[in-house]
Amino acid sequence: MQSITSSSFFQFIKGSELRNRFILYFIALSAMPVLVLGGVALYLIDLSHRQDISKLEVQLIDQKVEEIEKFFADTLGILELRVGFFQRSPIPPESQIFVLEGLMEENSAFQEISFIDVGGLIANNIPTVAGKEIAKAVRAEKNISLITDATRLANISRLDSFTDPARGESFVGDVYYTLSGPMVTLSAPVRNKNNDIIQVLSAEVSLSEIHRSIKRARIGTNGYVILVDKEGAVIAHHGRGEIKPGTDLIGLSRVRAVLQGEIMDALGDQDRYISFFEGVPVVGAGKKIPKIGWGLLVEWPINDADAVMSDVRNQVVLYVLFSILAVLVLGPLFVFRLVQPIRKLQVGATEIEKGNFEKLVDIRTNDELEDLGSAFNKMAKGLKRLKELQEEFVFIAAHDLRAPVTVIKGYLSMISEDRSMQSFTDNVKDYLEQIQKANQRLEKLVKDLLEVARSEAGRIVVEVKPIDVRDPVSESVEGLRSLAADKSISLKYESLPVAELVLVDTDRLKEIMENLISNAIKYSPANATVRVFHERKPSEIITHVEDSGFGIPKEKQAKLFEKFYRVSMKETQGIGGTGLGLFIVKELITKMNGKIWFESEYGKGSTFSFSLPLARQKQV
């Protein structure tokens, strides 16, 4: 017994429903979790990254807010002087100059600083003018000039920078922009030990320290900060581009939003936009500085902010892709291992259905499938043995039946030839005729069974020699004329014009012709026609047996040459037969190197044709 060779992997890849289903399951079970996990990981990474960005930006803003508030607190703290006496009287004029000079030296942000009278009587009952500057120090390059000359001093009684501190409140003015940078006016009351306001100290303060701090501020590599005053003008920004301090940005919706007190934390979708300053997509945050009403904005170019995350994200994507690739490559391999044995069993079963018990399935998986393979092979061996027994039985039975049939036939012919036959009554003659017919059928059955048994045992012998095909064919036709005449069927033989030598066994060819012609007569109604004719081909002679009989429906044609197969249809009910004739005919023709086929149409008739090799062709 040979084994079924494993169908190649690529054949397998081409098509198998079980495989496709397994691959689908496999991919669904292994790739889906990876995809879902990858997706969730990406989502979480993105989420936490967004939060990190937001945290960093908000932190930077808070730090800058704190810095700015501290600057103001410190600067105002310096201005809020408290003198060491109890009287209402102001600082004596001679001391004022020294105080101013000291303050200027102490704090380089002060560009101008002046004492202002708050009105009322001073010592010696000298009245003072409210809002009038008394002394002033001005920074000019590296020197500080002190002014006490009343003509060079101004009266600022109407300005908030005087009225606020005169009421006891510190004052922070609007930012204004000079060539040396943004400035702001700060003023504060000067109090004595009784907490009386005795004067006002007002200073023009340079914001260059804040400007520098904002300019230097960075988030990531390219993230930056912008500081605007409460009117939306730029106090300071990262320093790139054309924007100068004082540029009005109130037209920008984000600037307006910040100044209106909206908190922008870089988390929302609206916090990702194209920057007015850089022209690139950024993620931004913003906040209003509560006490002074300025606005701080942070912008971080997205590609810079995402740079770190891109690495992580790429790694996750790469991991997911790699895993899916592995699943796609390994999946079919695993499934191949799983499905291949099943396919082998399927092929094995098909072979058994065809009657081929020789092939064994070869499954080596070391598991239940291998056990199933062994069980399958045992079953195949069992079936083979069963078939052999059946063939043996048919052969022995047919062989042993032949002798009594021959004896009966002999005695029947002796009786029919005996003179005493004349003395039999018509009834007895009729019975004898019936017995004779039954015995003929039995003889044919036994003969067919023996032939089948021989064919299965490979014991059909044909002895071919060159013979004029016309002889055995016309002999067979003549032999069946009376059978045709019984049904008024016209049986025609269109012989060949010249002798054509075919390589055949004469007796077998007659057997074939008798089978085909008697079938044509049997399966045709009365008055039909049966035509036998040849066709000469270069290397063979084709013989056709054509009838105008019942025909065979298409769906019943497939198994016509199988043994014991008989077409069941109403027209042929009651017609006797074994279903062995065509099987034997095919065996014999194949043995003689020919082929047989047929065409049939239900209700119109059939044509059975077979080819036989020409003798001279064979001898070449």
* Binding-site ranges for ligand ADP (CB under 6 A): 519-520, 523, 547, 549-550, 552, 560, 566-567, 572, 577-583, 606
Supply the minimum distance, in Å, between the C-beta of residue 564 and ligand ADP: 8
Supply the minimum distance, in Å, between the C-beta of residue 468 and ligand ADP: 26
Q: Which is nearer to ligand ADP, 176 or 598 (CB)?
A: 598
What is the token pair recorded at 549? 């009989």
Residue 304: which of 406, 419, 220 has the closest Cα? 220
Supply the minimum distance, in Å, between the C-beta of residue 430 and ligand ADP: 26
For residue 564, the surrounding DSSP H or E stretch is none
At 185, the amino acid letter reads: T
Q: What's the CA gap between 556 and 38, in Å, rounded?
A: 59
Supply the minimum distance, in Å, between the C-beta of residue 422 and ligand ADP: 36
At 152, the amino acid letter reads: R
Supply the minimum distance, in Å, between the C-beta of residue 574 and ligand ADP: 12
DSSP 3-state of 365: coil
Supply the minimum distance, in Å, between the C-beta of residue 477 and ligand ADP: 15
DSSP 3-state of 334: helix
Phi and psi at residue 430, in whole multiples of 5°? -60, -45
598 CB burial (10 A radius; 0-12, 13-18, 19+): middle
Q: Which is nearer to ligand ADP, 410 or 553 (CB)?
A: 553
The C-alpha angle 493, 496, 499, rounded to 5 degrees, equals 130
Supply the minimum distance, in Å, between the C-beta of residue 485 and ligand ADP: 18
Q: Which is nearer to ligand ADP, 441 or 537 (CB)?
A: 441
Supply the minimum distance, in Å, between the C-beta of residue 479 and ligand ADP: 17
Supply the minimum distance, in Å, between the C-beta of residue 392 and ligand ADP: 23
Q: Which is nearer to ligand ADP, 230 or 566 (CB)?
A: 566
Q: Which is nearer to ligand ADP, 503 or 512 (CB)?
A: 512
Q: Which is nearer to ligand ADP, 235 or 585 (CB)?
A: 585
Computed from CA positions of residues 457, 459, 464, 469, in that sequence, does the dihedral angle turn out positive or negative?
A: negative
Q: Which is nearer to ligand ADP, 30 or 519 (CB)?
A: 519
Q: Which is nearer to ligand ADP, 464 or 582 (CB)?
A: 582
Q: Which is nearer to ligand ADP, 360 or 582 (CB)?
A: 582
* CB contact at 8 A, 217 and 61: no
Q: What's the CA gap between 214 and 233, in Å, rounded?
A: 15
Q: What's the CA gap between 470 and 549, in Å, rounded?
A: 24
Number of CB atoms found within 10 A of residue 106's CB:
9
Q: Which is nearer to ligand ADP, 259 or 489 (CB)?
A: 489
3 state SS for 478-517? HHCHHHHHHCCCEEEEECCCCCCEEEECHHHHHHHHHHHH
What is the token pair recorded at 178? 């000079």
Pairing verdict, β 529-536 and 540-547: antiparallel
DSSP 3-state of 243: coil
Supply the minimum distance, in Å, between the C-beta of residue 473 and ligand ADP: 17
**Neighbour-count burial for 273-299, b at 16+ CB within 10 Å, e otherwise:** eebbbeeeebbbbbbbbeebebbbbbb
At 234, the amino acid letter reads: V
First to last CA, the chain: 38
